[in-house]
């Protein structure tokens, strides 16, 4: 459907209210959104409670964070028709908060705008206002300690779990939605029963029906949603640190020479913005940071290559995630295979993916997108073009018999440029929010790799 016609027909989006329902074992938050003239939407979130804590839903910090989660949740419904006006009725926003949310929406929807061929400026895409009262509630007098580690089931979260294994007793793992591969990954690392927190997010089925009917659809900043969910869980379970596994590589744009980035809400820019927002408007006691921000995907892959016990259970493929398998045909599967090829043999890669991905001519176009032979990267959570090339030449140096994609690569000018370049395993990006003692643990892990 046409963007401009939809905006003309459906001019107003309302965030009416949110309700918190609490019993002895869980807390549910339900939201009430409306595209005026089209439909109401009532998504919800269900999270378990820490034993012995009561009336958490009455705490001011919990209510403010629940509202903030609604502010990021609403974007999934707003994008159906992209109304010009968003009116928040259940809270009061300052001008700085409005500016903050509009920035997140605009850049978090960069892929959505790009793929739907929508050209609109930050100043024009949305008029955000609030007409509600200030959120009230009890003051939380409890103190926070320990780590909350979100687990998605990929290699990155396993590296974080490994680096922080010495603090296991004070750690909890978090999985959003009951995704078998993520659950089993956390369990493989020893996080079971009360050590594993599973939060269930429920979408409103009416949104899915509108998507099928041809209304606007596309990528939203899920990692920003996960950030606010993590913050809620940290409040409930009194955690001081939320330890993400986003790496330096997430900062590179997907579309060349633009700010369009599939991973915008995994970038350091968002990480900084999120911390500033939560410390100013929610709680200064909880610190959100990515443990792996100082290093790259290729360094992470090197560490993960030594964690053999996880090679049979980790999954990063969005296509096969629910079935706990690699589809071995998508850009994510190809990227993970390439980045691990710097450290693993062809036989080990086939054992992981159950297919010789690198020997498949049908993967050539995706391969060219990942290496930079084509301008734009795939719209997936993948590493930088440079580290993809470094991984390829590392494999080529170690093997005489090459798979099809690497044979084709040797014919390119990229091979001539990269063939003598080496992986710098001690490379470190100082643009991070990692606490000093956590950074020390990660540096020690990198130094161990030099002797592997």
Looking at residue 52, its pLDDT comes to: 80
Give the least confident one: 129-133, 220-224, 272-276, 375-379: 375-379
- How confident is residue 250, by pLDDT bands cut at 50, 70 and 90? confident
pLDDT tens digit string along 269-288? 999 999 999 999 999 999 99
Using one digit for the tens of pLDDT, what is the confidence trace for 33-83? 999 999 999 999 999 998 888 899 999 999 999 999 999 999 999 999 999
Is the pLDDT at 356 greater than 80? The verdict is yes
The pairing of strands 147-150 and 171-176 is parallel
- Both tokens of residue 5? 């016609």
Q: Which of 4-13, 180-189, 409-418 is the least confident region?
A: 180-189
Q: What is the pLDDT of residue 54?
A: 84
On the question of pLDDT at 90 being above 90, the answer is: yes
Look up residue 50 and give its two tokens.
């820490």
| Inter-residue contact 68 to 180 (CB < 8 Å) | no
For residue 342, the model assigns a pLDDT of 96
| Summary mean pLDDT of the chain | 94
Inter-residue long-range contacts of 250-256, CB under 8 Å, 24+ positions, other chains counted? 250/381, 252/377, 252/383, 252/384, 252/385, 254/111, 254/376, 254/377, 254/378, 254/379, 255/114, 255/375, 255/376, 255/377, 256/375, 256/376
Give φ, ψ of 284 to 5 degrees: -80, -10
pTM of the model: 0.94
Q: How confident is the model at residue 394 (pLDDT cuts 50, 70, 90)?
A: very high
State pLDDT tens for residues 419-449: 999 999 899 999 999 999 999 999 999 998 8
pLDDT digits (tens, 9 = 90+) for 139-171: 987 789 999 999 988 899 999 999 999 999 999
In the predicted model, is pLDDT for residue 451 greater than 70? no
248: CB partners within 8 A, 6+ apart: 268, 292, 293, 294, 295, 296, 429
């Amino acid at each position: 459907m046409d963007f401009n016609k939809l905006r003309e027909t459906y001019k107003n989006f309302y965030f009416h209210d949110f309700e918190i329902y609490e019993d002895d074992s869980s807390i549910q938050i339900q939201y009430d959104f409306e595209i005026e003239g089209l439909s109401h939407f009532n998504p919800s979130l269900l999270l378990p409670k820490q034993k012995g804590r009561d009336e958490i839903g009455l705490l001011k910090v919990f209510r403010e964070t629940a509202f903030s989660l609604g502010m990021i949740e609403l974007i999934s419904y707003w994008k159906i028709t992209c109304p010009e006006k968003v009116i928040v009725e259940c809270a009061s926003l300052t001008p700085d908060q409005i500016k903050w949310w509009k920035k997140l929406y605009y850049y978090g929807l960069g892929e959505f705008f790009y793929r739907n061929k929508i050209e609109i400026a930050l100043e024009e895409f949305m008029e955000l206002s609030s007409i509600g009262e200030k959120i009230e509630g009890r003051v939380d007098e409890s103190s926070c300690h320990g780590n909350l580690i979100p687990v998605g089931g990929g290699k990155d979260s396993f590296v974080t779990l490994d680096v922080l294994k010495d603090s296991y007793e004070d750690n909890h793992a978090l999985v959003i939605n009951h995704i078998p591969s993520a659950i089993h990954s956390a369990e493989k690392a020893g996080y079971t029963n009360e050590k594993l927190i599973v939060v269930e997010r429920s979408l409103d089925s009416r949104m899915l029906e509108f998507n099928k009917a041809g209304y606007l659809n596309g990528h939203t900043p899920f990692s920003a949603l996960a950030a606010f969910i993590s913050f809620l869980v940290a409040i409930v379970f009194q955690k001081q640190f939320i330890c993400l596994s986003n790496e330096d590589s997430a900062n590179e744009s997907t579309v060349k020479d633009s700010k369009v980035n599939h991973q915008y809400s995994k970038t350091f820019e968002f990480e900084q913005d999120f911390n500033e927002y939560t410390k100013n408007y929610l709680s200064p006691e909880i610190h959100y940071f990515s443990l792996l921000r100082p290093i790259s995907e290729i360094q992470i892959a090197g560490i993960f290559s030594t964690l053999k016990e996880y090679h049979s259970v980790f999954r990063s493929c969005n296509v096969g995630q629910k079935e706990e398998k690699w589809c071995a045909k998508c850009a994510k599967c190809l990227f993970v295979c390439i980045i691990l090829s710097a450290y693993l043999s062809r036989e080990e890669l086939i054992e992981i993916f159950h297919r010789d991905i690198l020997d498949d001519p049908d993967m050539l176009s995706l391969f060219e997108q990942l290496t930079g032979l084509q301008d734009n990267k795939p719209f997936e959570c993948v590493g930088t073009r440079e580290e993809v090339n470094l991984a390829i030449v590392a494999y080529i140096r170690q093997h005489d018999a090459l798979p099809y994609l690497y044979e084709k690569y040797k014919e390119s000018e990229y091979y001539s440029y990269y063939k003598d370049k080496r992986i710098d395993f001690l490379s470190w990006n100082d643009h991070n929010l990692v606490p000093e003692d956590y950074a020390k643990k990660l540096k020690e892990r990198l130094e161990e790799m030099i002797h592997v």
